[in-house]
């Protein structure tokens, strides 16, 4: 019988297993790299868009109408920023809270929670003005401002501060977290500076500060 | 009787009729199923309801931060019968968890997760996980204030992961706070991505079950019992065809279930704020946290665990690990429990007590997660008690009890402490 195919293509030729394994492995690796590369645009598409990033511009706020003991909330990058005019009594109570706080000097777990110019006892540039991102460091709720110094259901010895409705975390009048609550850190102080005596700008550091 | 049509079909798809027989008329299930065995088919019924009503809701829903809230009000007020379709969907969501929790408890009662059904259990747990993601994202869609804050709190769970947490949250949310981008992607996941995964998992769950056969309240394997029943001399004597016997039985369950569901849909669709929360009737506002943030009832037990674990070493990740751990342990149940006896009827007293404690701890955590303790504790102990401390003390004991169940079960079965009763040869109700 005449053979139609050359001898070398016949099925009885010995299979080169090493070559087959190599080809299978390299094909799989190259294909895998392709899959990973193709996944990148899809994963990156979940990042904040250019529009979302552009919405993060600085916010300017006049302080003229905020009385002592009052809080004003402004939105910066869609975050609630608390601006509080602390009264002398509230300021006087701050050092007394130290033994009950997780990180009274904001140099432990909360070291990264404020710019260097606000890393002090009052966590502010001027003692009477507290400027703070009003987001609980536990799971991101907005704590309620409970400024009055009177016994509260959650603390019979309350000296004014913040109480988170979500998981009952408590902070003092400088946003410093109390011990024994779920929140791990003091609330965040945003970059800000005073444009003049009565105007604050949130989102920009003071001149000369890092 | 092969008429021309069925013959035409059989020639072109010869596998269809045998597949139908394998899973319906010739799927032999143990004859002693009781009330607990309704909840699998009911879960399937609710799944169909969610898909059907969900499809019709998408026809009028607008997945944008500016339009979502209004479009839900539009469905409720202006769309013909829109209120019914939406209430069927929202009530279905809660009842889905009711039947799934009972279905899972059935597994614990009769050891349905044990060899050879580990894969059935693991696939079921995956369904539970996808269901939780599906429910959470669905909850965000109306873009009420609870939707917004729920989204914020749940996405922040990932923010507790050290180093990458903050970037991870921004990636999930697609903004610095839950916003339009978040709502859009949750909508896409809720209406197409997760339902596809869910359907695939349900098919695999049933396929895995039909491969090994159903367990039963006695936990004995009917395949190892005597052979020969009325329909087939080679099939187990203590089993009956799924169709028509269990399909008809399940129809009774469907009837009762639909009466309950209809009552809720028509008379108490919000179920006193349990199925639909009152604070979600207010549009999303990122500057005002609702006075009480609590998830819908079916998440509250897991949510309470997050709250009960204090932060230390400068991170709140421990509570989140505990919460995910509470679910992960359920996945591992077939390997944690090494007991050979399946059904609670013949297991040791230790298992019965532990299971009871486990159920109580789960319910207590659910109650704490709902913030009901703030209401009840002052009534019992007077109004001047320290609620935070009491909440934490009770909640932490219950959290320990929840995790203790798995620890105890491992010790109890691996160290041979369990004293079981003799297991019968056949199901107890055989002829």
Residue B50 confidence (pLDDT) above 70:
yes
Three-state secondary structure of chain B: CCCHHHHHHHHHCCCHHHHHHHHHHCCEEECCCCHHHHHHHHHHHHHHHHHHHHHHHHCCCCCCCCCHHHHHHHHHHCCCCHHHHHHHHHHHHHHHHHHHHHHHHHHHHHCCCCCCCHHHHHHHHHHHHHHHHHHHHHHHCCCEHHHHHHHHHHHHHHHCCCCCHHHHHHHHHCCCCCCHHHHHHHHHHHHHHHHHHHHHHHHHHHHHHHHHCCCCCCCCCHHHCCECCCCCCCCECCEEEHHHHHHHHHHHHHHHHHHHHHHHHHHCCCCCCCCCCHHHHCECCCCCCCCCCCCCHHHHHHHHHHHHCCCECCECHHHHHHHHHHHHHHHCHHHHCCCCCCCHHHCCHHHHHHHHHHHHHHHHHHHHHCCCHHHHHHHHHCCCCCHHHHHHHHHHHHHHHHHHHHHHHHHHHHCCCCCCCCCCCCCCCCC
**pLDDT of res. B379:** 77
Q: Are B50 and B96 in contact (CB under 8 A)?
A: yes
B386/A79 CB distance under 8 A: no
Q: Each residue of B193-215: pLDDT tens digit?
A: 999 999 999 999 999 999 999 99
- Please state, in angstroms and rounded to a whole number, the distance separating the CA atoms of residues B165 and B311: 15
**pLDDT of res. A10:** 55
Region B120-137 average pLDDT: 97
B177/A184 CB distance under 8 A: no
Looking at the complex, report in whole angstroms how far the Cα of residue A23 sits from the nearest Cα belonging to chain B. Answer: 33
A-chain residues within 8 Å CB-CB of B395?
Answer: none
Q: Each residue of A160-203: pLDDT tens digit?
A: 899 988 888 899 999 999 988 888 889 999 999 999 888 999 98
**pLDDT of res. A7:** 56
Catalytic residues of A: 167
Residue B107 confidence (pLDDT) above 90:
yes
Q: CA-nearest residue of chain A to B285?
A: A78
Ranges of chain A whose pLDDT falls below 50: none
A75/B287 CB distance under 8 A: yes
Q: Are B351 and B121 in contact (CB under 8 A)?
A: no
Q: Are A146 and A135 in contact (CB under 8 A)?
A: no
Q: Each residue of B26-48: pLDDT tens digit?
A: 999 999 999 999 999 999 999 99
A-chain residues within 8 Å CB-CB of B295?
Answer: none
**pLDDT of res. A77:** 82
Lowest mean pLDDT among B66-75, B377-386, B389-398: B377-386
**pLDDT of res. B159:** 86
**pLDDT of res. B1:** 53
Share of chain B above pLDDT 70, in %: 99
Backbone phi and psi for residue B178, each to the nearest 5 degrees, phi listed first = -55, 130
Q: Each residue of B257-303: pLDDT tens digit?
A: 999 999 999 999 999 888 998 889 999 987 777 777 788 999 999 99
Residue B101 confidence (pLDDT) above 80:
yes
* pTM: predicted TM-score of the whole model, two decimal places: 0.82
**pLDDT of res. B271:** 93
A-chain residues within 8 Å CB-CB of B310?
Answer: 180-182
A-chain residues within 8 Å CB-CB of B164?
Answer: none
Query: Which one of B154, B157, B177 makes the best mutation probe of the A interface by having the most chain A beta carbons within 10 Å?
Result: B177
**pLDDT of res. B292:** 76
**pLDDT of res. B99:** 98
Inter-CA distances, B393 with A60, B307, B368, Å: 45, 12, 11
B170/A182 CB distance under 8 A: no
Closest by Cβ to B292, choosing from A49, A56, A165: A165
Burial pattern B337-368, b for ≥16 Cβ within 10 A else e, equals bbbebbbbbbbbebbeebbebbeebbebbbbb
Closest by Cβ to B314, choosing from A56, A182, A185: A185
Looking at the complex, report in whole angstroms how far the Cα of residue B25 sits from the nearest Cα belonging to chain A. Answer: 43
Looking at the complex, report in whole angstroms how far the Cα of residue B172 sits from the nearest Cα belonging to chain A. Answer: 7
Closest by Cβ to A153, choosing from B174, B291, B387: B387
B306/A46 CB distance under 8 A: no
A182/B307 CB distance under 8 A: yes
**ipTM for this model:** 0.76
Query: Which one of B311, B312, B373, B391 makes the best mutation probe of the A interface by having the most chain A beta carbons within 10 Å?
Result: B311
Share of chain B above pLDDT 90, in %: 77
B-chain residues within 8 Å CB-CB of A74?
Answer: none
Inter-CA distances, B105 with B9, B58, B97, B102, B406, Å: 42, 33, 12, 5, 15
- Nearest C-alpha neighbor of B216 from the set B409, B428, B431: B428
B-chain residues within 8 Å CB-CB of A56?
Answer: 176
Beta-bridge mates of residue A129: A85
Tokens of residue A170, six digits:
């408590």
């Amino acid at each position: 019988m005449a053979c139609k195919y050359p001898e070398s293509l016949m099925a009885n030729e010995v299979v080169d297993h090493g070559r087959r394994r190599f080809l299978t492995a390299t094909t799989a690796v190259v294909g895998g790299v392709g899959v990973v590369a193709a996944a990148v645009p899809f994963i990156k598409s979940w990042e904040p868009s250019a529009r979302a990033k552009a919405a993060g511009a600085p916010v300017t706020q006049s302080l003229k109408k905020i009385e002592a003991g009052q809080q004003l909330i402004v939105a910066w990058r869609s975050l609630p920023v608390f601006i509080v005019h602390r009264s002398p009594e509230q300021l006087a109570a701050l050092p007394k809270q130290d033994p009950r706080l997780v990180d009274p000097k904001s140099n432990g777990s909360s070291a990264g929670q404020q710019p260097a110019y606000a890393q002090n006892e009052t966590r502010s540039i001027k003692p009477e003005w507290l400027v703070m991102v009003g987001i609980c460091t536990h799971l991101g709720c907005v704590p309620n401002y409970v400024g009055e110094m009177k016994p509260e259901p959650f603390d019979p010895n309350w000296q004014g501060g913040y109480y988170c409705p979500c998981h009952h975390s408590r902070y003092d009048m400088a946003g410093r977290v109390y011990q024994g609550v779920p929140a791990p850190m003091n609330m965040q102080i945003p970059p800000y500076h005073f444009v003049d005596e009565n105007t604050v700008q949130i989102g920009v550091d003071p001149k000369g500060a890092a | 009787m092969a008429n021309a049509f069925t013959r035409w079909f059989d020639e072109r798809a010869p596998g269809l009729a045998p597949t139908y027989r394998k899973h319906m008329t010739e799927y032999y299930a143990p004859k002693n199923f009781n009330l607990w065995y309704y909840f699998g088919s009911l879960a399937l019924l609710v799944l169909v309801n969610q898909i059907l009503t969900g499809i019709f809701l998408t026809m009028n829903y607008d997945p944008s931060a500016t339009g979502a809230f209004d479009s839900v009000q539009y469905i409720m007020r202006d769309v013909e019968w829109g209120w019914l379709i939406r209430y069927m969907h929202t009530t279905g969501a809660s009842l889905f968890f009711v039947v799934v929790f009972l279905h899972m408890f059935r597994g614990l009662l009769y050891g349905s997760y044990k060899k050879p059904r580990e894969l059935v259990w693991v696939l079921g747990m995956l369904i539970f996980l996808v269901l939780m993601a599906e429910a959470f994202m669905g909850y965000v869609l109306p873009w009420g204030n609870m939707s917004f804050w729920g989204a914020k709190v749940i996405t922040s769970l990932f923010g507790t992961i050290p180093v990458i947490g903050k970037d991870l949250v921004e990636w999930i949310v697609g903004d610095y706070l839950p916003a339009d981008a978040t709502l859009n992607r949750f909508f896409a996941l809720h209406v197409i991505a997760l339902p596809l995964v869910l359907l695939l998992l349900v098919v695999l769950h049933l396929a895995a079950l039909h491969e090994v056969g159903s367990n039963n309240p006695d936990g004995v394997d009917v395949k190892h019992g005597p052979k020969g029943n009325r329909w087939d001399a080679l099939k187990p004597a203590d089993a009956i065809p799924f169709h028509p016997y269990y399909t008809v039985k399940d129809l009774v369950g469907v009837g009762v279930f639909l009466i309950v569901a209809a009552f809720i849909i028509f008379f108490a669709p919000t179920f006193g704020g349990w199925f639909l929360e009152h604070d979600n009737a207010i549009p999303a506002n990122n500057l005002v946290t609702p006075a009480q943030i609590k998830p819908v009832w079916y998440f509250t037990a897991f949510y309470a665990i997050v709250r009960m674990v204090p932060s230390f070493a400068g991170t709140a990740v421990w509570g989140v690990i505990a919460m995910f751990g509470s679910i992960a342990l359920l996945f591992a149940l077939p390997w944690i429990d090494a007991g050979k006896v399946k059904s609670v009827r013949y297991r040791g007293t230790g298992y019965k007590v532990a299971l009871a404690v486990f159920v109580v701890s789960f319910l207590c955590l659910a109650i704490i997660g709902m913030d009901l303790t703030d209401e009840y504790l002052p009534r019992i102990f007077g109004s001047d008690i320290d609620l935070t401390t009491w909440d934490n003390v009770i909640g932490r004991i219950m959290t320990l009890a929840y995790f203790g169940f798995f620890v105890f079960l491992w010790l109890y079965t691996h160290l041979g402490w369990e004293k079981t009763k003799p297991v019968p040869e056949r199901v107890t109700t055989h002829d």
